[in-house]
Structure 1
Amino acid sequence: MKLDLQNIPRRKGLSQDEFLQEYFIPEKPVVIEDLAKNWPAYSKWDFDYFREKAGEVVVPLYDSKPAKGRQASHGPAMKMPLKEYIDILEAGPTDLRMFFFNLLQNCPELVEDFQYPELGVKFFKKLPVLFVGGEGSKVVMHYDMDLANNFHFNFTGKKKVILYPPDQTGLIYKVPYSIVSMEIIDMDAPDFEKYPALAKAKGFETRMVHGDALYIPSKWWHFIKYETPSLSLTLRSLPRSPKKIAEVLKNILIMRNYDNVMRKIKGQRWVDYKNELAIKRTHKYAEID
């Protein structure tokens, strides 16, 4: 048994009007293969370049271990200079990842290496973020708390991406009071006996290589596996509708704070309760006994 996934469309020479009418407005993903081809980053951005330009910058690194008990749910596992992290990446498989690293704040000169695409979309230019991962590392299935539209540019390495639209949320074991699926589920090789609802979910997939730009619509779920050490940039467009802005505020001000408080009070019992509730709700929605 496999996940029910169809290939994300791949396009070249996509005009602004085509992008808006075919993908952005209907909220459908697309890989644009030539969107970054004229950027300096297209030819420059590899690990040697980042070692030279930003090797001394100390970066936070995250691993694949789920937070337990009263641990903070989004804390880094360690910090080290970028050049030392690159050495680890090049030495072999590792689950260490750089996550949501603000390029403008930490390496402002590298912002000159890319441009914001003219796609008819208003970008949030204060937050160009870098994502780096080692071979075999994985990002748990989640959607972004701020409901941004993401434009994810891959420069070094290869990665597998699985997406699910919001209307499939009921089938992918969403953890209550969070924006993640159950961390114990490996979306690269799911256990359908334990999590049978996943077989009913309909999603999309692609494998990103150098120069690919993936448009991930607002509130779409995404899982990422780094098949080789990989370096990517995400440019973000924040939601503008009152309904989505209200949901963002609820996520940040209420849901996240409530979850953190309950973690501190109940510890692992709270984590276990949420996972049990995720299974119960998903199987009820999928009509699985």
Structure 2
Amino acid sequence: MSQPSSPEGRARSSSPAADQVSAGNALWADVRALLPSTKKDLKLDFSEKVEESVISLLQQARDLLYGAGSLCSGGTRETCLQVSEIIIDYSWEKLNIGTWRDVDKDWRRVYSYGCLFKVLCMCSEQGTIADAIRVCDMGLLMGASILDNILVRIINVLQKHLTYGKRSAEEDTKESRRKKIRNDHTTIPSVKSEEVIPRLHCPSLEHFRENYMIPQKPVILEGIVDHWPCMKKWSLDYLRQIAGCRTVPVEVGSRYTDEEWSQTLMIVNDFIDQYIVNKNSIGYLAQHQLFDQVIGRKYIRLYSPQESENLYPHETQILHNTSQVDVEDPDLVKFPKFERAAFQACILTPGQVLFIPVKYWHYVRSLDVSFSVSFWWS
């Protein structure tokens, strides 16, 4: 017959519920440590453009946070959460009236404070950490920096407490099916010898500048990013793990000129699941570009600025740097001069970096699940 456990033994044992409470207290302690030590240090200085009623709400949320009652108590937390959401909703309206450049920075700061107070409420209970990260991201994307960029520092803490589970067998099957569909519909274009973009292995800065950047000649640079950690680390699973729950701005659609093309805010996991797509319109930038291929392959065509007339740019100011032509399936009746437009081409593979000179027209199509990193400079 087993003996009853001693009080000491019972104290040492723990249930899943107790572990969750302990984890919640640890999270709250880590986040609370990032805040100013006193209420006086958390200053709420705003211009007269912010109404007194809003400042009063901000002060109320701050007082609840630093008050004698614990934010971990249900009543205090619920009140603080309600006040925070009122601040967020009201400032959101201010952010979305008129054009973005006309939004006063103080209203962006108000929005960030609302997000901060809401996240603190969420961290004081056993909520979903991913939801708290999403609130921080919204504050970073739509708000302005506050308290020495505290929302970034809170995200760093939240991610340390976030548990990444393995994908289910069903999710793995869906991912394999998506990859198969993408590969089944991908054709590999041939690149003729006269179209090939030259390659250069580890050139000196002086050689690159004198022979390619100044004369504005495209070139593929090899061996210059082999030391990047992403060249070995990056994969869909890795990106899901480090950023899957983050909210980011996303351009959705194949071409800028398509009616369904749009910009939106989206969680990285949702983007990977729904929108691994090709942006295959042709356009140019008013800056030099280094296009670094990290994962997968891309088919790229480059047209010099001298070919602009043959590429039929849109006449509107907003799309003047975008061609009307479907490069790989052109309508030569509508765009007859496109047939004589000379171009250079390549299939860019992982580890290669393409130098695209300023105002060079470029067309890009992914041949695999593909990720690239771009740098622009004038």
What range is the shorter-chain TM-score in?
0.5 to 0.7
The one-letter code matched in structure 2 to 1:162 is: R
The one-letter code matched in structure 1 to 2:301 is: I
* 1:160 counterpart = 2:299: yes
* 1:56 counterpart = 2:245: yes
Per the alignment, do residues 224 and 213 of structure 1 end up closer, same or farther by CA in structure 2, a change over 3 Å counting? same
* 1:142 counterpart = 2:283: yes
User: Match of 2:231?
Assistant: 42
Q: Normalized against structure 2, the TM-score is what?
A: 0.45
Q: Decide which of 5, 9, 15 is 2:204's aligned counterpart.
A: 15
Taking the aligned partners of 1:225 and 1:35, their CA distance within structure 2 comes to 23
Taking the aligned partners of 2:308 and 2:218, their CA distance within structure 1 comes to 17
User: Match of 1:128?
Assistant: none
Shift of 1:3: 10
User: Match of 1:229?
Assistant: 369
User: Match of 1:75?
Assistant: 262
The one-letter code matched in structure 2 to 1:16 is: L
Shift of 1:9: 0.7
Q: Give the structure with the larger helix fraction.
A: 2
Taking the aligned partners of 2:352 and 2:191, their CA distance within structure 1 comes to 23
Report 1:275-286 matches (<5 A): none
User: Match of 1:203?
Assistant: 343
User: Match of 2:334?
Assistant: 194
Shift of 1:219: 0.8
Taking the aligned partners of 1:165 and 1:211, their CA distance within structure 2 comes to 24
Taking the aligned partners of 1:87 and 1:169, their CA distance within structure 2 comes to 37
Report 1:127-138 matches (<5 A): 133-134=276-277, 137-138=278-279
Asked if the contact 2:301/2:344 (under 8 Å) is kept, the reply is: yes
Per-residue CA deviation, residues 213-236 of structure 1 (Å, 9 max, x unaligned), is: 010001111111111121110011
Q: Decide which of 27, 34, 57 is 2:216's aligned counterpart.
A: 27
Structure number with bigger Rg: 2
Secondary structure of residue in 2 paired with 1:202: coil
Taking the aligned partners of 1:80 and 1:142, their CA distance within structure 2 comes to 25
Per-residue CA deviation, residues 85-136 of structure 1 (Å, 9 max, x unaligned), is: 2233xxxxxxx4xxxxxxxxxxxxxxxxxxxxxxxxxxxxxxxxxxxx53xx
User: Match of 2:271?
Assistant: 85
Report 1:87-102 matches (<5 A): 87-88=273-274, 96=275
Per-residue CA deviation, residues 244-276 of structure 1 (Å, 9 max, x unaligned), is: xxxxxxxxxxxxxxxxxxxxxxxxxxxxxxxxx
Q: Give the structure with the larger strand fraction.
A: 1
Asked if the contact 2:191/2:345 (under 8 Å) is kept, the reply is: no
Taking the aligned partners of 2:308 and 2:200, their CA distance within structure 1 comes to 27
Shift of 1:49: 1.7
Taking the aligned partners of 1:237 and 1:175, their CA distance within structure 2 comes to 25
Per the alignment, do residues 3 and 179 of structure 1 end up closer, same or farther by CA in structure 2, a change over 3 Å counting? farther
Q: Runs (4+) of structure 1 moved beyond 3 Å? A: 2-5, 65-68
Per-residue CA deviation, residues 187-210 of structure 1 (Å, 9 max, x unaligned), is: 123233332211111111111111
Per the alignment, do residues 3 and 211 of structure 1 end up closer, same or farther by CA in structure 2, a change over 3 Å counting? closer
Shift of 1:37: 0.5
Per-residue CA deviation, residues 33-82 of structure 1 (Å, 9 max, x unaligned), is: 211011112211222221111111123241136355xx9xx731x44311
Taking the aligned partners of 1:138 and 1:41, their CA distance within structure 2 comes to 22
Q: Normalized against structure 1, the TM-score is what?
A: 0.58
The one-letter code matched in structure 1 to 2:269 is: K
The one-letter code matched in structure 2 to 1:86 is: I
* 1:174 counterpart = 2:316: no
Asked if the contact 1:150/1:234 (under 8 Å) is kept, the reply is: yes
Secondary structure of residue in 2 paired with 1:161: strand
Secondary structure of residue in 2 paired with 1:190: coil
